[in-house]
Amino acid sequence: MNPSRTNKPTNSEQQPEVPAAPSTNRSAITIRQFRDEDLPSVIEIFADGFPPATSDEEKQMVAKYVQSSIESDLGNIAGAYITSGGNFWVATLVDEADDKEKVVGMVALEKKLDGDGELRRMSVKKEFRRYGVGKQLVEHLEQWAKQNGYTSVSLATGEVVKVAQAFYKRMGFEQKHTQLLSEEPHIAIIHFSKQL
């Protein structure tokens, strides 16, 4: 060890400055059922939740997928999820700047056959990730599912979304299989399941 060297990193070793964490006291987060007035925030969170596209072709594919989702289930959340026996929740907190409720995350449960539900539309605003919001959403979904007769929850996530895969594994989901959607460009999804 060089005694003249201090433990302080040099300018070339310093990490980029990390922005201050948002106010995400676990008790400040509220999970509640979707309301119609949440739709603009839900669409924004959904559209912003995809990993950055690496090509124009990927950007177009994501844009088409977002638009098709808005025209289908996200355009009729009550019909697609709630009245059919599933549910859709948002995570909210009160913005200290204007004292208004702000939607910071979302998750849906779509009813399937034989007591199974599919976890869908899981997304948290970028600036609120890694603060437990997603965990609270999944825990709330699982508790509601158990109380409403579900015996398992399945989900699918992109093969390239390693953070999501690790998150679902930490939440007790088991990887079941990989499904190839496209060879060129290579697009695959990984299916997970969890017994309740």
Per-residue pLDDT tens over the stretch 160-176: 889 999 999 999 999 99
Q: What is the pLDDT of residue 160?
A: 85
Is the C-alpha dihedral spanning 42, 44, 49, 54 positive or negative? Answer: positive
- Asked if the structure places residue 7 within a domain, the reply is no
The count of structural domains within the chain is: 1
Q: What is the pLDDT of residue 27?
A: 58
- Asked if the structure places residue 9 within a domain, the reply is no
State pTM to two decimals.
0.82
Tokens of 193: 């399941």
- Residue 161's domain is classified under what CATH number? 3.40.630.30
Tokens of 111: 């009813």
Range of the domain at 144: 26-195
- Asked if the structure places residue 2 within a domain, the reply is no
- Asked if the structure places residue 66 within a domain, the reply is yes
The CA R_g of the chain, rounded to the nearest whole Å, is 19
Give CA–CA dist 33/18, Å, rounded: 33
Q: What is the pLDDT of residue 22?
A: 52
Q: How far apart are the first and last CA of the chain?
A: 53
- Asked if the structure places residue 3 within a domain, the reply is no
Q: What is the pLDDT of residue 96?
A: 86
Tokens of 99: 């004292």
- Asked if the structure places residue 116 within a domain, the reply is yes
Q: What is the pLDDT of residue 8?
A: 40
